[in-house]
Structure 1
Amino acid sequence: MSNLGWYLLCTFQLILVVNSLEYKVGDLNAWGVPSEVNPQVYNKWSKYHSFKIGDSLLFLYPPSQDSVIQVTEESYKSCNIKDPILYMNNGNSLFNISGDGNLYFTSGAAGHCEKRQKLQISVGLAASATSPSQLPDTAPSYPTVFGSIPQPPSSSSSSSSSFPPFPLFLSAVLGLLIGLIM
């Protein structure tokens, strides 16, 4: 019976991974200080996405010039970059969403938060407070000075389906059955 539990757990985890999305923060070439043309780019961007547990945020930036930190709501509002919850500085920082609620990020570089290089996202039930019907159809996106980054083959927009593609799901079920037989 313990083998059955193990196979069910593995199948469930596979389904969760398949349903998870990776979002490039801001849909920009890099995490950076917003331009004067679009100072609210990160606020606007976060309202166009429905984040869920298992999704991840990708922050791209030159590591010699910037970083990203996760902070409390109070630190987010006051741009206090001391004592962050999490500090990432490798230029290719991936943050995995592991719980519901509001999450707050800002640049770890001095003065960048005050220039609106910060992001607040809502996950799960907290996200239902923002109604998609109140938003325009598209989010503006502006290039940065760091050049273009190749786009991944899959889209980073949310899928309306809550189930994995049928062939993958079928493969997971077949793997479970084969494991039970052996």
Structure 2
Amino acid sequence: MAGFELNQAVVMIVMVAYMQFHTTVAKNTHVVGGPAGWTIPASGSHIYSSWAATKTFNVGDDLVFNFPTGKHTVAEVPLQGYDQCNTTDRARIYKTGPATITLTKSGTRHYICTFHCKMGQKLSVNVK
């Protein structure tokens, strides 16, 4: 009986290992703001937070910021930069639209338009 239980345990371990190595997570592409795109929101930044609340963001997913070059930008900033619309400590700035950003690490990521952040053009996402 002990041999049967041992064999059963080995089979379970092999199955779990197989599933971990052969399971792929589908990469999702999220168009920021949906059809409206990355633009100055008519009624404030809650449009972007409401949009993000309906999505699940995972490492490897892409965020696509649709905007006309020269009219908007996208900068990834720390929380303080997000709250204060400050780009001093930005990680990178994208000046050409549309801009695609691949989410490479988990945690909360913050993005702002360097021209229109104070008008509500900013997005915060929680990446799993």
- If the length of structure 1 is used for normalisation, what is the TM-score? 0.55
For the residues of structure 2 that align with 1:70 and 1:98, how far apart are their CA atoms?
13
Amino acid of the structure 2 residue aligned with 1:42: Y
Assess if the C-alpha contact under 8 Å between 2:45 and 2:123 holds in 1. Answer: no
> What is the aligned length?
108
1:45 aligns with 2:51: yes
Q: Is it true that 1:73 corresponds to 2:79 in the alignment? A: yes
Deviations 1:10-38 (A, max 9, x none): xx69935xx100000011333111013x6
Amino acid in the other structure paired with 1:105:
Y
CA contact (8 A) 2:78 2:89 kept: no
Residues 83/52 of structure 1: CA separation in 2 closer, same or farther (3 Å cut) = same
Corresponding residue for residue 122 of structure 1:
126
TM value normalised by structure 2: 0.77
Partner of 2:117: 113
Distance in 1 of aligned mates of 2:78 and 2:66: 22
- The gaps in structure 2 that reach 5 residues or longer are 1-20
Amino acid at match of 1:115: M
Which letter maps to 2:65?
A: F
- Superposition deviation, residue 84 in structure 1: 1.3
Q: In 2, Cα distance between the equivalents of 1:65 and 1:45?
A: 22
Are 2:77 and 2:110, in contact at CA under 8 Å, matched by a contact in 1? yes
Deviations 1:87-133 (A, max 9, x none): 10111100001111000000021xx1111100000011xxxxxxxxx
Name the larger-Rg structure.
2
Find the counterpart in structure 2 of residue 87 from structure 1.
93
SS at match of 2:86: coil
Give the superposed CA RMSD.
1.9
Q: Distance in 2 between matches of 1:24 and 1:95?
A: 11
User: What is the CA–CA distance in structure 2 between the aligned matches of 1:74 and 1:91, rounded to whole Å?
Assistant: 25
Q: For residues 91 and 14 of structure 1, do their structure 2 counterparts lie closer, same or farther at Cα, with a shift above 3 Å needed?
A: farther
Q: Which runs of 4+ in 1 moved over 3 A?
A: 12-16
Identity %, equivalent residues: 25
Deviations 1:30-68 (A, max 9, x none): 3111013x6511010111111111101000101121111
SS in 1 for 2:55: coil
Higher strand share: 2
